[in-house]
Amino acid sequence: MKNPITRRIFLAASAVSLLPAATASVLPGQGGLMSVLNEADTTGTAPHEDWRHTGVLDLSKSPYARLRTIPIAAVTIREGFWQKRRQTNVQSSIPSMHDELLAHGRMDNFLRLQGKSDAPQRGPVYSDSDIYKWLEAVGFALQSGNNPQLRSTAETMIREVAAVQERGGYLNTYYVGDRRDLRMLPQTQETGHELYCIGHLLQASVAFYRATGDETLLDAGIRFVDEFLLPGYGPGANQKPIVAGHPEIEMALIELYRTTGNRRYLELSGYILHGDSRIPLTPRQITYMFCGIPFTSRTKLEGHAVRAMYACCGAADYYLETGDPEYWKTLNLLWEDLSQHQIYITGGVGARAQGEAFGDAYELPNARAYGESCAAIGNMMWNWRMLAATGDARFGDVIERALYNGINSGMSLDGTTYCYRNPLAFDPASGDRIRNPWYDTTCCPPNLERTLASLPGYFYSTSDSGIYVHLYDNSEMNWRLHDGTGLKIVQTTRYPWEGEVQLDVSPAQPAEFVLYVRIPRWSQQNRVQVNGKAIAGAEPGRYLAIRRRWDAGDRVIVALDMTPRILRANPAVTENTGRVAFQRGPIVFCMEGLDQSSPPSQRNLAGYSVRTSGKTSAAYDPALLEGVVVLAHEGSQEQAPPSGSLYYSAETSPPSAIPATLKLIPYYAWANRQPSEMQVWIPYIRP
């Protein structure tokens, strides 16, 4: 395959529609836009390198995307909050994870099949996906700038992957030898993760292709789909039934469709999202796997949280391409369930360890919280798609909440250890080691890496009427509006530690368009100025639309409300009765025992309460945890009675307390020092 565009056109002509008649014809011609984009390229790349003109997703031709992603390469994040994390990601996390993957035999699984390794198969059934997710992280990292060593390492690994692809397109290192006969049996599809692995291969291949133009892995993925999957599986009488098992293939096929134009990939994704009734599933499987029945029959989030989130991503992608109203209805129903019943204050989702699953409505335990890093990432990815469909800031709020908190917590500050679980209270005495360099199911570490690597792609979107600013950090964007007008935006800020963001907006020539500025829901009092003049209408949880004729040198100041907020949970969250949490800007805070005034020990959150009528002060400490704002709030610490007893009568030994100032750090930075108790939800004294 030398030219995916050619392939796209060829295959589009031969495609047999699997879609319901009502939605099969909704894709309008979009050819005109691509030529405009090519001609107006302002990123300095050659005008015909199509593979660069894409972002986290390629929504440039998605008919139901109100917003379009912009290339990752178009946004350069400058020194500030995320630059440090992203440097750590590329300099420490990605390389150390590479070594871990090799040390745990994940590449040996490929080499053995070529006679280059004697090592036996290692790792769980989905181990190939570890390599693919890592390659995707590299692909995204390379989209922000070349890194010859990383690229060379990845290219070598890609060659080893492609080398084990079989005649007929099949590619998986687990279902070989004695297990060959199990391939794609219904029960293997349910639990064997073959399509999950290929989904990650496709996502990696697309990211790597968009970074480098290298089609090796993309070609392997297309061969799997074209030669193995499409001919063998689907609704046809001669085709076998198909089920995702662990959703992932759905969104990957749609991104492959966006990359190649081959509509059969979209159609197959739609077929998988619909479910194949020829594979009978138990109610438990239907709940746990979040696939196998029509996506549009779902009414709530349930089952395995990562599966559910990835299914929602695939369904949202399907909506962006087809506009199917049933999908949109279901996606919104599930989103309401998410925001009303299922999301942790950190943006994490999936409360239960058992089955790594969503709990019941309001089942949000703290110490027992699962909150898998991958699920928070899936949540962000889903909301990114919902945001693209609507431009509705509520989705941006979820992205920000998850990104700064429940995702960011997943990687240690030094980038070498990772959380699989992200609990909201912790006692190191429990014996859990919360940050580890390796998990045998190592889904989370490379998932965190690909998220940080792709982050510049989440800052902006374009729409027919202008440009959306979603995230704030020191950065420079160079891109163009839909009409081709080149546009540069420079952000200068100390966000998320301070609320003021300066946006220098410089179109290549004066142009009228709308600058959509996201006002986070947590920001109650907002001031926005353009060239020193106040702009009215900024509302929490909305994009402020600033329509005007913009010219080079225009300066927008957005001043968000960084007043620390004391939050309560809906009383239905039983564990949080009598407790409050602190948030300032997008950052959710927590107490770690070692920061309190008691003598340091692992167990030192003893007896602390906050007085909610008190004041919260905030101060930046450059020396703490690589620089964080620390909150201080008045409260008290209950004292043990002189007897030192373990239990005593509240009547005869009424509680006595001494004043104490509680110190809080950002949740994402917890567990980066010696082990210590931690809590997000803190008991409060009711006045």
Following CA atoms 445, 447, 452, 455 in sequence, which dihedral angle do they give, to the nearest 10 degrees?
A: -170
Task: Between 33 and 566, name the residue whose CB sits nearer to a copy of itself.
Answer: 566
We find the least distance from the C-beta atom of residue 336 to a copy of itself, in angstroms, to be: 10
Distance CA 568, CA 576 (A): 8
Q: In 3-state terms, what secondary structure has residue 466?
A: strand
**299-303: long-range pairs with CB below 8 Å, 24+:** 299/330, 299/333, 300/333, 300/334, 300/337, 300/361, 301/334, 301/337, 301/338, 301/342, 301/349, 301/358, 302/357, 302/358, 303/355, 303/357, 303/358
Task: Between 193 and 352, name the residue whose CB sits nearer to a copy of itself.
Answer: 352
We find the least distance from the C-beta atom of residue 438 to a copy of itself, in angstroms, to be: 19
We find the least distance from the C-beta atom of residue 188 to a copy of itself, in angstroms, to be: 26
We find the least distance from the C-beta atom of residue 571 to a copy of itself, in angstroms, to be: 3
What sign does the CA torsion over 65, 272, 293, 441 have?
negative
Task: Between 382 and 608, name the residue whose CB sits nearer to a copy of itself.
Answer: 608
Task: Between 251 and 664, name the residue whose CB sits nearer to a copy of itself.
Answer: 664
We find the least distance from the C-beta atom of residue 534 to a copy of itself, in angstroms, to be: 24
φ, ψ for residue 422 (rounded to 5)? -130, 75
We find the least distance from the C-beta atom of residue 608 to a copy of itself, in angstroms, to be: 7
We find the least distance from the C-beta atom of residue 659 to a copy of itself, in angstroms, to be: 14
Give the footprint of a copy of itself on this chain (CB under 8 A). 339-341, 343, 345, 352-355, 357, 359-363, 365, 367-368, 427, 429-432, 524, 565-575, 577-581, 602-603, 605-609, 612, 637-640, 644-653, 655, 677, 679, 683-686
Secondary structure of 174-195 in HEC code, one letter for each residue: CCCHHHHHHCCCHHHHHHCCHH
Task: Between 368 and 548, name the residue whose CB sits nearer to a copy of itself.
Answer: 368
Task: Between 124 and 655, name the residue whose CB sits nearer to a copy of itself.
Answer: 655
Distance CA 89, CA 445 (A): 10
We find the least distance from the C-beta atom of residue 451 to a copy of itself, in angstroms, to be: 23
Task: Between 176 and 567, name the residue whose CB sits nearer to a copy of itself.
Answer: 567
We find the least distance from the C-beta atom of residue 681 to a copy of itself, in angstroms, to be: 11
Task: Between 491 and 636, name the residue whose CB sits nearer to a copy of itself.
Answer: 636
Residue type, 561: D
Q: How many CB atoms lie within 10 A of CB 574?
A: 11
We find the least distance from the C-beta atom of residue 570 to a copy of itself, in angstroms, to be: 5
Q: Which of 305, 339, 315 is nearest to 389 (CA)?
A: 315
Distance CA 427, CA 678 (A): 7
Alpha-carbon distances of 126 from 14, 211, 359, 546, rounded to whole Å: 33, 25, 25, 48
Residue type, 596: Q
DSSP string, 295-311: GGG--S--SBHHHHHHH
Distance CA 469, CA 461 (A): 7
Q: How many CB atoms lie within 10 A of CB 329?
A: 12
Task: Between 91 and 524, name the residue whose CB sits nearer to a copy of itself.
Answer: 524
Task: Between 61 and 341, name the residue whose CB sits nearer to a copy of itself.
Answer: 341
